[in-house]
Amino acid sequence: VYNRESSLGDVQMLGVGGTITAKSPTTFVQVTSALKRIIGDAEVDNFIEATHSDTTDQKALQVAGKAKAVGRKYANLLVNGTGANDEFEGLLGLVSAGQTLVAGPNGADLSFDLLDQLRQKVTAKDGKLDFYMMPGRTIRSYKALL
């Protein structure tokens, strides 16, 4: 169970000696999600450990490799998780269809116009966009536009 921000509290400009009227609090919606695990065994063959561990700690290598795989799996599911088959639901499932941008069947080149259309689709909370999240290639395209 976690709290998702639904609206920000109000604020105001105030001179010295003025009365604070901005009293509305930030509001939250409680969300419940089933816990999911990302797991894997880090196994080391006894022969490999005996013959290759003089210069490299094979157990440490296997654990490090599994940790990297867990991080990559989490990053993928954060966006693409379906909520089915022991996956947690990712951003694509949590964001309403009206807040996604589709620029044709194969997409389109990034442009300021497309970014503006995307920004205008954000309707949660107060209609303000807190951040853009995009893959590295799109960030490079954005920097090229700048």
Q: Which residue has the higher pLDDT, 51 or 3?
A: 3
What pLDDT is attached to residue 51? 67
- Within a domain: 72: yes
Number of independent structural domains in the chain: 1
Confidence of residue 35 (pLDDT cuts 50, 70, 90): confident
- Within a domain: 108: no
- Within a domain: 57: yes
What pLDDT is attached to residue 58? 80
Query: What pTM value is reported for the model?
Result: 0.58
- Beta bridge partners of residue 27, listed in sequence order: 7
- Within a domain: 41: yes
- Beta bridge partners of residue 4, listed in sequence order: 29
Please state the rounded mean pLDDT for residues 103-115: 75
Domain that holds residue 60: 37-94
Q: Is 30 helix (H, G, I), strand (E, B) or coil?
A: strand
- Within a domain: 73: yes
- Within a domain: 65: yes
Q: pLDDT digits over 125-134, tens only? A: 666 777 777 7
- Within a domain: 23: no
**Mean pLDDT, the chain, whole residue set:** 83
Pair 89, 83: CB distance under 8 Å: yes
- Within a domain: 122: no
Q: What is the residue whose two structure tokens read 């000696």?
A: 17
